[in-house]
């Protein structure tokens, strides 16, 4: 899918590609100070880029607000941060600690000693953001709690700093901070690792994202900070290799039991080791705890996308569709969400079911692919056209009445299949295909689907023909449980709306979200005549009626900036029985 200008700007800033940054801002000037999670200035990776952004009009107040709690400071280059302070960005104790501004930090603590425990973002203390040893020394000398834990991730300063400032984490350990096997692995500290293994041999089996010690997202609020400072769903063995400590990996592997050796070998793609262990111990995979079987799903999720690890786990016998417990997503849900064609193809090849719905949103993997591609857009690099086509080819449930979805390439995948559904053929206005399908599937349900499709497609004569054949005028169809009138009004198909109203269609029916036809018409940028038809038919009593989300037609019109529509709704004499 095409990458949005915002994502392009973020990548250009991350690469410190100043010409690209300037070109994007010239084409999209609104991005410079657009409301967003992190100000553009804080994404600058050099003083030159920051100065250029300031010269273009980047504002400093959002910087002061964003890094006030410390989080933004941790992700800002210190030289850039110092420049922004010089230009007028306001400091807090957390920002001063994060930027290593010792003099201002000392002055703040002199004036207000209690700031040593001040709660910043996630209720972190200033020590959580000490990115230099000198800063950590100053804070400890003023009474900072070396093992203070934040409230979102329940993690210590050393755990927060191991990724960006390992030398500070090492210093804190030397000063008495509580150690753990992941700190030892990341630092390559064999002596520390051996002492931890001697005290608790089981620590080698700990995993980032496995409760209770290092919980995942969704358990214990944000889950352990190691998910971001080290790596999601990883064992200490993986961290040791990732940080360039193969000798420590060997020690950890040697001290591991058969189960952990098998799992780690799978996750690292060490096929010969994994297959040898599985062959020598046939019941080993089945004996793993359910939370270890979750690893197939977790390595299909966006934080760990790893087709070879998943392939190897499946090859040695991990269950194919085992969901991860935090949210109930299956491997296919996760792979589809990321638009990962390789993973989706692998899972489908192995027979992963396509019709499983997750427990929270009651959506299939196809629904996850479509939501990310069309709404969230978290994976512009994803091959969603391939993923959607593969899921449909594998038999995924789908709704013809969802077409068009709003992306031309995705719509083309669905369009090629619309002629196979009675509602799809009617939506396209293909009367011959529709009648053939009605002969194969006679009855009121098929007629109702066909009328809904013809209404959404705006095919007034086809709607007339279906009504003559006995199609029920107010039958609901599709996942959203809409009437033909709702489909027609949503598409601003005025002639179809008029026909359906003439045939007795109700304006009072509500869909599964409590929305009436007037809600749906107003929400889809209608022409005034279509809305007037509905108001004249009695829909005016719903102008101020809230749906399940608290939205009224009047509020929806205001939110859309349709002043002409707002005035029409306000002027109608039937609103609320007035």
Give residue 441's pLDDT band: very low, low, confident or very high (50, 70, 90): confident
Tokens matching residue 161: 């700093």
pLDDT of res. 2:
59
Asked if 309 and 266 count as a contact pair (C-beta separation under 8 A), the reply is yes
In angstroms, rounded to a whole number, what is the distance separating the alpha carbons of residues 285 and 312?
12
State the number of CA atoms in the 13 A half-sphere of 428 facing the CB. 20
- Is the per-residue pLDDT at 495 higher than 60? yes
Distances in Å between the Cα of 570 and the Cα atoms of 109, 507, 544, 554, 564 are 58, 18, 10, 8, 10
pLDDT surpasses 80 at 49: yes
Nearest CA-CA partner of 477 in 527, 421, 410: 421
Q: Give me the phi and psi of 477, to 5 degrees please.
A: -145, 160
* Per-residue pLDDT at 447: 95
The yes-or-no verdict on residue 577 having pLDDT over 50 is no
Helix/strand number for the chain, H first, E second: 37, 0
% of the chain surpassing 70 pLDDT: 97
CATH number belonging to domain 507-578: 1.25.40.20
Residue 480 pLDDT > 90: no
How open is the CA angle 344-346-351, to the nearest 5 degrees?
A: 95
**Facing residues of 482 across strands?**
477
pLDDT at 323 over 80: yes
- Give the model confidence (pLDDT) of 334-388 as tens digits: 999 999 999 999 999 999 999 999 998 899 999 999 999 999 999 989 999 999 9
CB 90 within 8 A of CB 96: no
From first CA to last CA, the distance across the chain in angstroms is: 49
Residue 70 has pLDDT above 70, yes or no: no
Distance CA 380, CA 390 (A): 18
Instruction: Say how many C-beta atoms besides its own lie within 10 A of residue 233's C-beta.
Output: 22
Among left, alpha and beta (phi > 0; psi -120 to 50; other), residue 318 is beta
Q: Which helix (H) or strand (E) holds 246?
A: helix 246-254
Which range (100-104, 201-205, 477-481) has the least confidence? 477-481
Residues contacting residue 392 through CB under 8 Å, at least 6 positions apart: 366, 398, 413, 414, 417
CA angle 480, 482, 488 (to 5 degrees): 125
pLDDT (0 to 100) of residue 575: 55
Scanning 246-395, the segments in alpha helix (DSSP H) are: 246-254, 258-267, 271-280, 284-287, 290-293, 295-298, 307-315, 331-337, 341-349, 365-371, 384-393
From 159-173, 399-413, 442-456, 560-574, the region with the lowest mean pLDDT: 560-574
pLDDT of 28 strictly over 50: yes
Beta strands in 83-200 (DSSP E): none
Measured CA to CA in angstroms, residue 460 lies from 315, 413, 447 at distances of 55, 26, 15
**Lowest model confidence (mean pLDDT) among 167-176, 211-220, 255-264, 426-435:** 211-220
pLDDT at 329: 93
As a whole number of angstroms, the distance between CA 578 and CA 558 comes to 21
**The CA-based dihedral angle spanning residues 43, 170, 184, 293, taken in that order and rounded to the nearest 10 degrees:** -30
The alpha-carbon radius of gyration of the chain (Å, integer) is 29
Q: Alpha-carbon torsion 139, 141, 146, 148, what sign?
A: negative
State yes or no: pLDDT of 73 exceeds 90.
Answer: no
pLDDT tens, 281-297? 999 999 999 999 999 99
**pLDDT at residue 34 in the model:** 85
Tokens encoding 366: 């196809």
Q: Positive or negative CA dihedral for 46, 51, 52, 53?
A: positive
Locate all alpha helices (DSSP H) within 354-430, ordered by sequence.
365-371, 384-393, 408-418, 422-428
Most confident by average pLDDT, 59-63, 403-407, 452-456: 452-456
Residue 578 is predicted with a pLDDT of 46
The domain limits of the chain are: 507-578
Alpha-carbon gap, residue 173 to 519, rounded angstroms:
60
Q: Which residues contact 522 (CB under 8 A, 6 or more apart)?
A: 531, 553, 556, 557, 560, 562, 565, 569
Burial class (CB in 10 A: 0-12, 13-18, 19+), 253: buried
pLDDT of residue 66: 83
Residue 183 contacts residue 248 (beta carbons within 8 Å): no
pLDDT at position 574: 57
Mean pLDDT of the chain: 93
Q: Are 494 and 529 in contact (CB under 8 A)?
A: yes
Q: Taking residues 413-433, what's their average pLDDT?
A: 96
The dihedral over CA atoms of 8, 14, 20, 22, expressed in degrees to the nearest 10, equals 100
pLDDT band at 69 (very low <50, low <70, confident <90, very high): low
For residues 241-266, give the mean pLDDT. 98
For residues 32 and 167, what is the distance between their CA atoms, to the nearest angstrom?
Answer: 35
Both tokens of 335, joined, read: 């792979």
What is the C-alpha separation between 221 and 151, in angstroms, rounded? 8
The enclosing H or E element of 290 equals helix 290-293
pLDDT of 324 > 60? The answer is yes
Segment (H or E) for 448:
helix 444-457
Q: 318 falls in which pLDDT band (50, 70, 90)? A: very high
Mean pLDDT of 230-238: 97
Cα→Cα distances 507→471, 474, 478, 490, 516, Å: 18, 10, 18, 13, 7
pLDDT digits 0-9 by tens, 181-198: 999 999 999 999 999 999
């Amino acid at each position: 899918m095409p990458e949005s200008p915002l994502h392009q700007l973020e990548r250009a800033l991350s690469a410190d590609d100043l010409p690209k940054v300037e070109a994007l801002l010239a084409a999209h000037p609104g991005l410079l100070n657009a409301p967003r999670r992190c100000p553009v200035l804080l994404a600058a990776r050099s003083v030159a880029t920051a100065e250029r952004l300031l010269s273009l009009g980047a504002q400093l107040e959002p910087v002061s607000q964003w890094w006030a709690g410390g989080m933004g400071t941790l992700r800002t280059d210190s030289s850039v941060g110092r420049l922004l302070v010089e230009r007028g960005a306001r400091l807090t104790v957390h920002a001063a600690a994060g930027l290593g501004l010792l003099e201002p930090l000392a002055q703040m603590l002199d004036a207000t000693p209690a700031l040593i425990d001040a709660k910043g973002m996630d209720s972190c203390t200033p020590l959580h953001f000490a990115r230099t040893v000198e800063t950590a020394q100053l804070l400890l000398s003023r009474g900072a709690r070396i093992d203070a834990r934040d409230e979102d991730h329940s993690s210590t300063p050393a755990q927060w700093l191991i990724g960006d400032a390992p030398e500070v984490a090492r210093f804190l350990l030397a000063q008495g901070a509580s150690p753990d096997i992941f700190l030892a692995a990341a630092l390559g500290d064999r002596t520390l690792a051996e002492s931890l293994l001697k005290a608790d041999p089981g620590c080698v089996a700990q995993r980032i994202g496995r409760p209770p010690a290092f919980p995942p997202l969704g358990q214990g609020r944000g889950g352990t900070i190691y998910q971001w400072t080290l790596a999601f769903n990883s064992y200490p063995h993986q961290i040791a290799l990732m940080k360039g400590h193969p000798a420590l990996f060997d020690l950890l592997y040697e001290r591991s039991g058969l189960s952990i050796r098998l799992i780690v070998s799978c996750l690292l793609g060490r096929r010969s080791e994994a297959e040898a262990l599985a062959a020598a111990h046939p019941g080993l995979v089945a004996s793993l705890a359910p939370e270890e079987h979750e690893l197939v799903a977790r390595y299909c999720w966006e934080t760990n996308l790893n087709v070879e690890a998943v392939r190897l786990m499946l090859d040695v016998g991990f269950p194919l569709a085992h969901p991860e417990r935090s949210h109930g997503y299956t491997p296919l849900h996760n792979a589809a969400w990321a638009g990962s064609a390789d993973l989706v193809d692998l899972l489908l090849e192995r027979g992963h079911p396509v019709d499983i719905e997750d427990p929270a949103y009651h959506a299939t993997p196809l629904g996850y692919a479509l939501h990310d591609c069309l709404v969230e857009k978290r994976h512009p690099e994803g091959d969603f056209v391939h993923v959607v086509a593969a899921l449909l080819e594998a038999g995924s449930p789908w709704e013809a009445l969802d077409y068009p979805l709003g992306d031309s390439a995705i719509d083309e995948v669905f369009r090629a299949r619309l002629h196979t559904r009675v509602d799809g053929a009617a939506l396209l206005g293909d009367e011959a295909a529709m009648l053939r399908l009605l002969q194969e599937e006679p009855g009121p349900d098929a007629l109702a689907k066909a009328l809904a499709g013809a209404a959404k497609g705006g095919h007034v004569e086809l709607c007339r023909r279906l009504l003559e054949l006995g199609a029920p005028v107010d039958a609901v169809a599709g996942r959203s449980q809409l009437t033909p009138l709702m489909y027609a009004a949503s598409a601003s198909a005025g002639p179809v709306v008029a026909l359906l109203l003439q045939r007795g269609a109700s304006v009072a029916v509500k869909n599964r979200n409590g929305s009436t036809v007037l809600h749906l018409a107003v929400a889809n940028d209608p022409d005034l005549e279509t809305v007037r038809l509905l108001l004249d038919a009695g829909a005016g009593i719903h102008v101020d009626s809230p749906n399940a989300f608290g939205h009224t037609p009047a509020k929806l019109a205001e939110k859309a900036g349709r002043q002409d529509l707002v005035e029409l709704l306000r002027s109608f004499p039937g609103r609320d029985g007035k």
